[in-house]
Structure 1
Amino acid sequence: MESITDAVKKMEGYDQLRRQLDRIKQQVLQDPYVASFMEANPGINEVNLEKGLTKLYEYSKERHQCSNCPGLERCPNLMQGYQPVLTAEKNQIDIFYEKCFLKKQDEKQKSMTALIKSYFIPKDILKASFDRLHSIDQDRKEAIGAAAEFVKKVAAGEESKGIYFYGKFGVGKTYLLGAIANRLAERQIPSLLVHTPEFLREMKNSLSDGSFNEKMELLKTVPVLMLDDIGAENMTNWVRDEIIGVILQYRMMERLPTLYTSNYDFTLLEDHFSYSQKGGLEEAKGKRIMERIRHLTVPIFIGGDKNFRSIQ
């Protein structure tokens, strides 16, 4: 009885198929990436080469697609975001896939984004970077330096006071908070960035949808809290005593750092907190809130006429 191999050889079209396979084989072996692999593995004999030809072909095709990468979202490889790697364990050709640089960068960015929670913060702020900050005067140099030092201490596990950035509208206070949040995320430290006026309005709605306690717990316990534009909210006794006061008291007791931005200096912010919707002033309550802020922050004025993010 003739062998299966001999029978296949007698089939119509076999010679043509064989010639086609030989051409593919030569093309694959002439591929610079494959040639380099074969040169590094001289123990691969002809039998193992034939067995591994389809894997070499797959590698050649995928590797060239990586060389002409159209970007992660349009990656044409079998496994999007993965690049092929050849192995020759015991001179047996095999292929596996590992994450490419773009895939790793994308996952890193998503991981960082997950560490930065926010409420009512513009998307461009959530992409802020120290590299894009532009210091053109002493005030701004001091602000950027203090922000960088804060991140350094927190990342090292050291206790650090928060920072109270204040100055007029449009000088880049919020952008600086975004840069801090991203630098913290690079060091795997979670933070929460909140636009205070909008968030406080949201907290009123949270009483009816049942999410009030959950949101309060988040603001009280997040490792680094950033309250943007504090002082611009519509002040009521409830906002001051049951939300801001409770959050700051807890964070003071637990020594959790809080950062702020405001158009007000400490004196004007205290006046704001002393306002009573019933008429008149409640100076003692205003002072109590400000004691918590003063005790655990370093005030830094940011001057200038223009935003201090670099012109792109």
Structure 2
Amino acid sequence: MESIQSALKQWTKDNKLEQRLHDARKTLLADPLVNNALEGEPVTDDILDQGLIKLYEFQKERQNCESCPGLAACPNMMKGYQPEIILTRRALDLEYHSCSLKKNEENARKQRQLIKSLYVPRDILDATFEKLDRDHEREEASRKALAFAVNAMPGSDGQGLYFYGRFGVGKTHLMGAIANELRDRNIESYIVYTPDFFREMKQSIGDGTFQEKIDMVKRAQVLILDDIGAETISGWIRDDVLGAILQHRMLEKLPTLFTSNYDYDELEEHLAYSERGGIEELKAKRIMERIKHFTTFVTVDGANRRSR
């Protein structure tokens, strides 16, 4: 590649222009940003002459970083990226890397992706243990929820929780707080509002997405099934959806958490009924044995939060 100086000499014999170019080169190389970037590199004058454009680009981009206006207003050619000078094949080039703000944004995005949800209100996903009501009735439930969140070991320990309580006592908020604590430990969780999820699974048979959706839920590191028992049950949902999910998670030691207005016995009775009107106690009992064996029953007491 011709140097900038050589090319310009062909265009003009203006000595003043040559002097200005010389002075600009000298000023550029005296810039601490450029000087420090070149320190230790075996750079000859020819390499410098041919790489001036790259050095000017480096200087401008790094000066932008020195007076950073924030990621949203980043003036660099690639927003959120800053250049480093590299020497390759006896030529100067630039290699771009994420700046600290960009890395923080990417980490935050990855963190948000650790909490997946289906049909769960946004305020539930924002719940934290610090924001939970500290009343006496929920103290034991909050303590057990926090203990699970800080000690969960998906793949090694499949033990979960079963939160039972009346409508509106804060069971789902506890699950949201668990999900956020797990996120901080880089553990993926999936919060599912069970009635709507089961309805979607019926529809997915027609659009060919059934296996993809059930696999996604089966394989989540921690699965939270919210409001189980509120759905209209069918033999297919009980055996081929819920049963298949729980069987896989039991074998892989992946914790499953539940919230319900039904206790264990009431949920078993609910699962025994099918939409065809029959009673299948044995099949319901098989499902409940998996739930009972791999969860700790927790009663959530207190006033109805939604009536405030």
Report the TM-score when normalising by structure 2: 0.73
Cα offset for 1:20?
4.2
After superposition, what is the alpha-carbon deviation per residue over 1:91-130, rounded to whole angstroms, capped at 9, x for unaligned?
Answer: 997643221123223333444455544332345544x364
What are the within-5 Å matches in structure 2 for residues 12-51 of structure 1? 12=12, 14-21=14-21, 24-25=24-25, 28=28, 33-34=33-34
After superposition, what is the alpha-carbon deviation per residue over 1:42-67, rounded to whole angstroms, capped at 9, x for unaligned?
Answer: 99787776565444432221123223
What are the within-5 Å matches in structure 2 for residues 81-96 of structure 1? 81-86=80-85, 95-96=94-95
Q: Give the direction of change, closer, same or farther, for the CA distance of 1:187–1:22 in structure 2 (3 Å limit).
A: same
Contact persistence 1:125–1:178 (CA under 8 A): yes
Q: Give the direction of change, closer, same or farther, for the CA distance of 1:36–1:271 in structure 2 (3 Å limit).
A: same
Q: 1:136 aligns with which of 134, 137, 143?
A: 134
Which residue is 2:290 aligned to? 292
Cα offset for 1:209?
2.4
Q: Which amino acid aligns with 2:243?
A: G
Which residue is 1:210 aligned to? 208
Cα offset for 1:82?
1.4
Are 1:80 and 2:79 an aligned pair? yes
Q: Which amino acid aligns with 1:294?
A: K
- Farther off after superposition, 159-168 or 15-24: 15-24
Contact persistence 1:41–1:88 (CA under 8 A): no
Contact persistence 1:227–1:260 (CA under 8 A): yes
Which residue is 1:230 aligned to? 228
Q: Which runs of 5+ in 1 are unaligned?
A: none
Q: Give the direction of change, closer, same or farther, for the CA distance of 1:78–1:13 in structure 2 (3 Å limit).
A: farther
2: distance between equivalents of 1:27 and 1:156?
58
After superposition, what is the alpha-carbon deviation per residue over 1:181-232, rounded to whole angstroms, capped at 9, x for unaligned?
Answer: 4544555544432110001111221222233344334434443322111121
What are the within-5 Å matches in structure 2 for residues 234-273 of structure 1? 234-273=232-271
Q: Give the direction of change, closer, same or farther, for the CA distance of 1:45–1:287 in structure 2 (3 Å limit).
A: closer
Q: Which amino acid aligns with 1:21?
A: L
What are the within-5 Å matches in structure 2 for residues 56-205 of structure 1? 56-86=55-85, 95-126=94-125, 128=126, 130=128, 132-138=130-136, 140-155=138-153, 158-185=156-183, 187-205=185-203
Q: Which amino acid aligns with 2:148?
A: F
Cα offset for 1:149?
3.4
- Farther off after superposition, 45-54 or 145-154: 45-54
Aligned residues: 301
- Farther off after superposition, 267-276 or 225-234: 267-276
1: distance between equivalents of 2:22 and 2:95?
25
CA-based RMSD: 4.1
Report the TM-score when normalising by structure 1: 0.73
Q: Give the direction of change, closer, same or farther, for the CA distance of 1:27–1:121 in structure 2 (3 Å limit).
A: farther
Identity of aligned residues (%): 46
Q: Which runs of 5+ in 2 are unaligned?
A: none
- Farther off after superposition, 220-229 or 143-152: 143-152
Cα offset for 1:259?
0.8
Q: Give the direction of change, closer, same or farther, for the CA distance of 1:7–1:264 in structure 2 (3 Å limit).
A: closer
1: distance between equivalents of 2:32 and 2:301?
59
Q: Give the direction of change, closer, same or farther, for the CA distance of 1:116–1:11 in structure 2 (3 Å limit).
A: closer
1: distance between equivalents of 2:84 and 2:290?
57
1: distance between equivalents of 2:11 and 2:66?
40
1: distance between equivalents of 2:203 and 2:304?
36
